[in-house]
Amino acid sequence: MNLNYRFRIRETLEQMYLLGVQSVPIVFISLGFVGIMMVLELAFHMRLVLKHDALVPAFSAVLMVRELGPVITCLLLTSRIGAGIAAEIGSMKVTEQLDAMKMLSIDPIDYLVIPRLLGSVFAALTLTVISIAVALWGGAFLAVQRLGSSSGEYFNTVFFFVKFPDVIRCLIKAFVFGSLIPLIASFHGFRCGVGSAAVGEAATQSVVRTSLVIIIADFILTYLFYAI
């Protein structure tokens, strides 16, 4: 890897914008509805089984912070940016741009992968925090409108049950998942075959395998954090 990577701040900032900032709308909308649906489902089942729904904020918040926040956010990022990274690098390989970089003494890993890795980690961390906040606000809105709860009661319950270690573990998951997306996507891009069909196949395989790896990694991290 080129030791002069510190001079690639422009590429890194550009990837942070492309991968992170431009992904805000889809994460904002998706997780907002996830938060609302989760509170709705939990309230229905708690009323059915326990005959009350006082713990809906607690269960929804814990589930969102521990699991759904980082997982759904990074799966959305996988579908949006993972395929793009694999297709971009694959196209560069097909058109021999990677070979041209090597002839100019430019390390493709340094120039292409590392900025996207940093941009993806930045996107995963920030968007996970945003997604959890949006989901909790969406759940609070439904709780106030349909469950007869106040926003103060909702968030008091949330902050009582969600502990600081849960937040740290959530960010660790986001960091790991955000790192996996560009690494797997870049791997498929560099291994892309010849022709436009191969580029499409690389993008498809990137999304499928990254999603699978994220789910497996989530299981492993959850087991290490909470089961041991």
In a domain, 6, yes or no: no
% helix, strand, coil for the chain, step of 5: 90, 0, 10
Contact 48, 154 (CB under 8 A): no
In a domain, 194, yes or no: yes
DSSP state of 51: S
In a domain, 11, yes or no: no
Burial of 171 (0-12, 13-18, 19+ CB in 10 A): middle
Residue type, 197: A
pLDDT given at position 130: 93
In a domain, 128, yes or no: yes
Q: How is residue 27 written in tokens? A: 């994460």
**pLDDT (tens digit per residue) in 141-170:** 887 877 777 778 888 888 888 889 999 999
**pLDDT (tens digit per residue) in 43-102:** 887 777 777 777 788 888 889 999 999 999 999 999 889 888 999 998 888 888 888 888
Placement of tokens 């709860």 in the chain: 149
Spatial distance between the Cα atoms of 104 and 98, rounded to a whole number of angstroms: 10
In a domain, 14, yes or no: no
In a domain, 10, yes or no: no
Q: How many domains does the chain have?
A: 1
Q: How is residue 194 written in tokens? A: 């010849």
pLDDT given at position 102: 83
Q: Which domain holds residue 50?
A: 24-223
Confidence of residue 1 (pLDDT cuts 50, 70, 90): very low
In a domain, 138, yes or no: yes
In a domain, 65, yes or no: yes
pLDDT given at position 7: 55
